Amino acid sequence: MTTSEPATVDTPLKKLVGEKTAKALAAHLDLHTAGDLIYHFPRRYDERGEHTDIRSLDVGEQVTVLAQVRRTDVRPMRQRRGKLLEVTVGDDSGGTLTCTFFGNQAWRERELRPGRWGLFAGKVTEFRGKRQLNGPEYVLLGEGGDGEAAANEEVEEFAGALIPVYPAAAAVPTWVIARCVRVVLDTFTPPEDPQPATIRATRNLIGIGTALREIHRPSSKEALYRARRRLKWDEAFAVQLTLVQRKHRAAAWPARSRPPRAGALLDAFDARLPYELTGGQRAVGAEIAADLATAHPMHRLLQGEVGSGKTVVALRAMLQVVDAGGQAALLAPTEVLAAQHHRGILDLLGPLARGGELGAADGATSVELVTGSLGAAARRRALAEVAAGRAGIVLGTHALLYEGVDFADLGLVVVDEQHRFGVEQRDALRSKADQPPHVLVMTATPIPRTVAMTVYGDLEVSTLSQLPQGRSPIASHVVPAAEKPAFLDRAWRRLREEVAAGHQAYVVCPRIGDPGAGSEEEPPREDDNGRRPPLAVTEVAPLLAEGPLHGLRIGILHGRLPADEKDAVMRAFADGELDVLVATTVVEVGVNVPNATVMIVLDADRFGVSQLHQLRGRVGRGSAAGLCLLVTEAAEGSSARERLDAVASTTDGFKLAELDLEQRREGDVLGATQSGRRSHLRLLSLLRDTDLIRDARAEAIALVDEDPELERYPALAASVAALVDSERAEYLEKG
C-alpha cells in the first residue's frame, strides 16, 4: 500500500491506497480524497501501558480499547460442535473484558498470549454480568515481552508513544485508517496556509502542514496540543468569519424605520398593564425599540427562562411597529401555542385589539389568527384583514408561510421557539415583506455563551434572567419507580391532594400510542438494551382513570388530535373543567394555566435536559408553588439517572444548558445533523474552547471590518467555504 505519486487534498484515495481499501473508506466513512482522510482526525490517543479505563465502557457502545492479554481459556461449546476461545484482556484501571472467538482457532490462541498488548475493536455486550466483545477485530502491538520483533506493517503505525484511535467502522477498523494515513502522509503536499501571517504570529499558531502531520503522528504531547489548537482555531475562525460576514452584510440592508410614537397603542397598552414590567423587560424593551427605529433590519435573539415575560416584550415591539404604520407577524411552532398566544394577546390588549368593532379604543388594531385548521369562510375573512392591513398583529403556525397569505406592510417577524423552524421557513415569511423586515427570535431554552457566540453569532443577543413578580417556586424530585414502587404510589396521592385543594395537574408521556392506519408513529419495540417501549398517552390515560386517579376529570392532548379538538381540550383545561391533562410534549412550550401546580413526567429519562426544564415551566405559573415529579426506571448511578438528578437539583436553566451541551454531540449544536452531510468541524468544543472561540470572533470582526469579502485572502476564503459548506452556512443563519 505505497505510492510515489505526490498527494494533494484533492487526490482520489484509490490512487494512494488501492481500489479495494478506497471503496471501503468511501462506503463506510464517506472518505473519498486525501484531504477527506487527512481531516479525519483521531478521536483520542492511547498510550501503551497507560490506563484506558475499560470500566467506563457502556453496553452497546462500539469501542476500540488498548489492552493487555491477561489469560486465555478454551472450552467446548454446548450447543454446537467446536470450541470457544475466551481471551480476558485488561488495562491499568483494573477493568477487564472477555473477547470470545467461536470455532477451532488454535492459531489465535497461540497468537493471543498473556502479556501481549493490542488494540481490540467491537461492540460491548454483557453476558452473565460480564462485559465482552464477540469476535472483535484486533491488532497486536508486538511487544509482549516475548522477544519477538515488531515486524508486521501494522506495528509501524504505533511506533510512537501516542497511539491514534480513529472514528472507525466495523469494516474499516482504526488500524486500517492509521495505515492509510501513513501512506498519504508519506507523499502529502499540504495546502497553502490559509491563515494570514499576522494572525498566525499574534495567536502563536503553527503552520497547517505541521499541524496536519502532528495530529496523526504526534512526536510528543506538546506537539499534539499545538496541532489540535491550530486546527481548532481554523474551525472556530471559519464559523466566526461566516457569521460576522453575514452580520456585516445584513447591517447594510435597507429597512423601514419603525420609531416609537408617543400617545399611541404602545403607551395605551403600558398604561393598562395590570403589573409592573421587570427591570430586565424594560432594558430589553429599550434595546429592541432602538433597533426598530433604525433604517436597517433588526436581527435579535431574545432568550429567557420559562416565564420570564418574553411574550410581553415581543408584544410591546409589535405594538411599536403597528404604531409606525406596519404589521407584525408571530410564528409559533404548534396550533396549541398559536391559539394560546392569540387568546393571551387579546386578553392583554382588551379594547386595544378590537379595531373596527363597536367599543374599540381609539387607534385600536385587530389581531388575527391564521392556522391550517381554519374553516374556509374564517380563513377568507382573516386573510382579507391581513392583506388590507387592518390586522396589525397576525399570529399563526406554518400556515402563515403559504401562498395566498399576503401582508400590506410586514414590518416585524417574531419567531417563537425558533429552534423548531428551519431557515427556509423563516425566509418564506420574511419574503412576504417589500423590504427586509425586522426579526426577533425567541427561545425559552437558555443558551450557553459559547453556543450563542457560535451558532447565533450573527444576532444581537438579549437575555431576560429575572422572573416577574407572582411566579412561584418549583420543587423537582426524581421518583425511582423500579427501586421504590411506593414512591410512585405516593406521587399519585400527591397529585390527588393538589386537585382536592382546587388545583390541576399534567401527566406527560413520551409517546402518543395506539398507532392507527396511516399513522406516522411506528409500533413500539424494545430497544437494543432490552428496555420496554416508552409509555404512551392513549395507554396511560385509561389506566390512570381506572386506577390511582379514579374519579378525577381527565383529558388527553397530543399532536395527532384534530386542531379543533386540541383547542377544545386546552380551553377545557384552562377553564378548570378538567383536573388532569395527560399529554405529550405538545404542552412543552407556551402553555399557560396558572392553576396547574403538579406535573408528573413518566419515563422522564426518555426526555432531554432542556425538554424537562421546559416542561416543568408549565407549573408554578400562579400564586401556588409548583411540583415536578420525574418518574424513571433508570438505575441509580446510571448516566440517565444522573441527568435527572441534575435537573431536579436546580431550576437554573443556564446551568442545565451547560449540562445539556456536555451530554450532546458537539455536531448537533453546530448543525451537523441538520444538513446530513459530513463536516470538517471535528475538534472544536463549545464547552471547553470558550477562550479560543472568543479570540477567533475578535479576529474575525477586525478582518471583516478591514476586508468584508476577504478579497485579499483568497486561501482563507476557500478554507472557510470548505469548513463551513453552503448548507451549514444556511443552518448557522438564525436571522
Cα torsion through 37, 40, 43, 48, rounded to 10:
20
Instruction: Supply the pLDDT for residue 676.
Output: 33
Instruction: Supply the pLDDT for residue 358.
Output: 67
Q: Which CATH architecture has domain 474-650?
A: 3-Layer(aba) Sandwich (3.40)
Instruction: Supply the pLDDT for residue 449.
Output: 65
pLDDT of residue 239 exceeding 70, the answer is: yes
pLDDT of residue 495 exceeding 90, the answer is: yes
Q: Report DSSP letters for 291-339, one per residue.
A: HHTSSS--EEEEEE-TTS-HHHHHHHHHHHHHHTT-EEEEE-SSHHHHH
Instruction: Write the DSSP symbol of residue 95.
Output: -
Give the pLDDT mean for 170-186: 88
Domain boundaries, the chain: 14-201, 265-464, 474-650
| Region of residue 46 (left: phi > 0; alpha: psi -120 to 50; beta: else) | beta
Q: Are 111 and 145 in contact (CB under 8 A)?
A: no
Beta strands in 544-601 (DSSP E): 554-557, 580-583, 596-601
Nearest Cα to Cα of residue 252 among 726, 572, 708, 616: 708
Amino acid at 247: K
**Highest mean predicted confidence (pLDDT) among 200-209, 408-417, 511-520:** 200-209
pLDDT of residue 380 exceeding 60, the answer is: yes
Q: In percent, how much of the chain has pLDDT > 90? A: 40
Give the pLDDT mean for 197-209: 95
The CATH label, of 1.10.1040.10, 2.40.30.10, 3.40.50.2300, 3.40.50.300, for the domain at 265-464 is: 3.40.50.300
Instruction: Supply the pLDDT for residue 193.
Output: 94
Locus of grid cell 486525501: 34
pLDDT of residue 463 exceeding 80, the answer is: yes
Give the pLDDT mean for 156-167: 67
Higher-confidence residue of 598 and 529: namely: 598
As a whole number of angstroms, the distance between CA 601 and CA 480 comes to: 12
Instruction: Supply the pLDDT for residue 671.
Output: 45
Higher-confidence residue of 713 and 465: namely: 713
- H-helix or E-strand spanning residue 164: strand 162-165
Cα distances (angstroms) measured from residue 711 to each of 458, 705, 726: 21, 12, 19
As a whole number of angstroms, the distance between CA 465 and CA 446 comes to: 10
pLDDT tens string 647-673: 999 887 777 777 776 665 444 444 433
Confidence grade of residue 165 (pLDDT, cut at 50, 70, 90)? confident
pLDDT tens string 5-56: 688 989 999 999 989 999 999 999 999 999 999 999 998 887 755 545 677 7
Instruction: Supply the pLDDT for residue 590.
Output: 57
The per-residue pLDDT of the chain, averaged, comes to 82
pLDDT of residue 420 exceeding 70, the answer is: no
Instruction: Supply the pLDDT for residue 336.
Output: 78
Q: Give ∠ CA 309-312-315 in degrees, rounded to 5.
A: 150
Q: Are 69 and 89 in contact (CB under 8 A)?
A: yes
Long-range CB pairs of 247-251 (<8 Å, 24+ gap) are: 247/299, 247/457, 247/458, 247/459, 248/704, 248/705, 248/708, 249/708, 250/296, 250/297, 250/299, 250/436, 250/458, 250/735, 251/296
Confidence grade of residue 725 (pLDDT, cut at 50, 70, 90)? low
List the alpha helices (DSSP H) in 372-527. Answer: 376-388, 423-430, 449-455, 485-500
Cβ burial 167-184 (10 Å sphere, 16+ → b, else e):
bbbeebbbbbbbbbbbbb
pLDDT of residue 731 exceeding 50, the answer is: no
Instruction: Supply the pLDDT for residue 476.
Output: 94
As a whole number of angstroms, the distance between CA 343 and CA 395 comes to: 10
Residue 301, φ and ψ in degrees, nearest 5: -100, 125
> C-alpha grid cell for residue 422?
428551519
Instruction: Supply the pLDDT for residue 546.
Output: 95
pLDDT of residue 144 exceeding 70, the answer is: no
Instruction: Supply the pLDDT for residue 630.
Output: 96
Mean pLDDT lowest among 253-267, 268-282, 411-425, 439-453: 411-425
In 3-state terms, what secondary structure has residue 414? strand
Nearest Cα to Cα of residue 535 among 606, 627, 622: 606
Higher-confidence residue of 230 and 620: namely: 230
| Region of residue 312 (left: phi > 0; alpha: psi -120 to 50; beta: else) | alpha
As a whole number of angstroms, the distance between CA 671 and CA 126 comes to: 34
pLDDT tens string 383-410: 999 999 999 999 998 778 777 888 999 9
Q: Do the domains 14-201 and 265-464 sit in the same CATH topology, yes or no?
A: no
- Going across the sheet that includes 391-396, the strands are 366-370, 391-396, 327-331, 410-416, 438-443, 299-304, 460-464
- H-helix or E-strand spanning residue 240: helix 221-252
Q: Are 524 and 536 in contact (CB under 8 A)?
A: yes
Higher-confidence residue of 565 and 733: namely: 565
Nearest Cα to Cα of residue 599 among 572, 623, 581, 575: 581
Confidence grade of residue 588 (pLDDT, cut at 50, 70, 90)? low
Confidence grade of residue 251 (pLDDT, cut at 50, 70, 90)? confident
pTM: 0.65
Long-range CB pairs of 211-215 (<8 Å, 24+ gap) are: 212/38, 212/188, 213/185, 213/188, 215/41, 215/42
pLDDT of residue 156 exceeding 60, the answer is: no
Residue 408, φ and ψ in degrees, nearest 5: -75, -40
Instruction: Write the DSSP symbol of residue 459.
Output: S
Instruction: Supply the pLDDT for residue 58.
Output: 77
Confidence grade of residue 517 (pLDDT, cut at 50, 70, 90)? very low
Class of domain 14-201: mainly beta
> C-alpha grid cell for residue 129?
454480568
Instruction: Supply the pLDDT for residue 667.
Output: 47
Confidence grade of residue 459 (pLDDT, cut at 50, 70, 90)? confident
Residue 457, φ and ψ in degrees, nearest 5: -70, -15
Instruction: Supply the pLDDT for residue 50.
Output: 53
Instruction: Supply the pLDDT for residue 519.
Output: 36
Confidence grade of residue 423 (pLDDT, cut at 50, 70, 90)? low
Beta bridge partners of 130: 127
